């Protein structure tokens, strides 16, 4: 069983994060995801990638029970896995659209920021970065993504208060780019990623836009 089953639709790869009811994260899942993203970076799909979650949640972030059970070596492994997964998502050369279908907490917010475009389904759920409340400070690569892609005022507000936003508030904060009717989310995400990726200069512009952040990430992972 994979944590990241994929499906192909007209040249677009749809990746669905799948791990139980809440789609929580753990080191095994993150390592599998990092390897899958690295493979896709080497052979990107012709019409981009859509990342979504299975069921009612996008992801509720790191499994706190798993995190609490880790010894020093396990914690080091978990941080490395988070860094590699976030870096792999951020470095994908093709268009990547995040289709947020439900709660996107902690690492879920970072995953949104690492994508090129975020469609959030309309609904009663929360998006945010409550690492301070959870007692899990941001690892270096997620922090770099946060620094580069979230407005400084909202970065301060969300990181220090652990306040969670509804989808409309996430749009205002810059965590999401569009709201979408829930039952149309995947269809709209595929249309959006294909439109982005079809632009002749998209990959070159994305490479330019992300150059500074990727260079910083390279230093973090090489250090």
Which CATH number is 145's domain given? 3.90.226.10
How many other CB atoms sit within 10 Å of the CB of residue 46? 12
Find where tokens 């992801």 sit. 59
Q: What is the 3-state secondary structure (H, E, C) of 199-216?
A: CCCHHHHHHHHHHHHHHH
CB 59 within 8 A of CB 109: no
90-107 confidence digits (pLDDT tens): 999 999 999 999 999 999
Residue numbers of the domain that contains 191 = 6-222
Question: Which pTM was predicted?
Answer: 0.97
The answer to the question of residue 210 being in a domain is yes
The answer to the question of residue 203 being in a domain is yes
How many other CB atoms sit within 10 Å of the CB of residue 171? 17
186-203 confidence digits (pLDDT tens): 999 999 999 999 999 999
The answer to the question of residue 17 being in a domain is yes
CB 196 within 8 A of CB 99: no
* Structural element, H or E, at residue 8: strand 6-9
The answer to the question of residue 1 being in a domain is no
Task: Look at residues 198, 184, 217, 201 and name the one whose alpha carbon lies nearest to residue 91.
Answer: 217
Task: Look at residues 141, 175, 177 and name the one whose alpha carbon lies nearest to residue 158.
Answer: 175
- Using pLDDT thresholds of 50, 70 and 90, give the confidence band for residue 223: low
The domain total for the chain is 1
94-149 confidence digits (pLDDT tens): 999 999 999 999 999 999 999 999 999 999 999 999 999 999 899 999 999 999 99
19-64 confidence digits (pLDDT tens): 999 999 999 999 999 999 999 999 999 999 999 999 999 999 999 8
Q: 140-149 and 72-91 helices cross at what angle (nearest 10)? A: 40
- The pLDDT of residue 163 is above 70: yes
State both tokens at 205. 């512009």
Task: Name the β-bridge partners of 127.
Answer: 104, 165
């Amino acid at each position: 069983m994979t944590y990241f089953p994929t499906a192909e639709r007209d040249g677009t790869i749809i990746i669905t994060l799948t791990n139980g009811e809440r789609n929580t994260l753990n080191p095994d899942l993150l390592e599998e995801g990092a390897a899958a993203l690295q493979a896709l970076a080497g052979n990107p799909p012709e019409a981009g990638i859509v990342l979504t979650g299975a069921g009612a949640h996008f992801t509720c972030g790191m499994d706190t029970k798993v995190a609490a059970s880790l010894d020093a070596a396990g914690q080091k492994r978990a941080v490395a896995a988070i860094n590699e997964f976030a870096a792999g998502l951020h470095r994908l050369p093709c268009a990547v659209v995040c289709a947020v279908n439900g709660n996107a907490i902690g690492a879920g917010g970072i995953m949104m920021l690492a994508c090129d475009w975020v469609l959030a389904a309309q609904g009663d759920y929360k998006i945010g970065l409550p690492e301070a409340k959870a007692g899990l400070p941001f690892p270096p690569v997620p922090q770099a993504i946060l620094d580069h892609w979230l407005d400084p005022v909202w970065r301060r507000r969300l990181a220090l208060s652990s306040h969670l936003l509804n989808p409309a508030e996430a749009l205002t904060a810059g965590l999401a780019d569009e709201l979408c009717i829930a039952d149309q989310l995947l269809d709209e995400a595929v249309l959006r990623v294909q439109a982005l990726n079809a632009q002749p200069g998209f990959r070159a512009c994305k490479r330019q836009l992300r150059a500074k952040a990727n260079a910083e990430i390279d230093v973090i992972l090489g250090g």
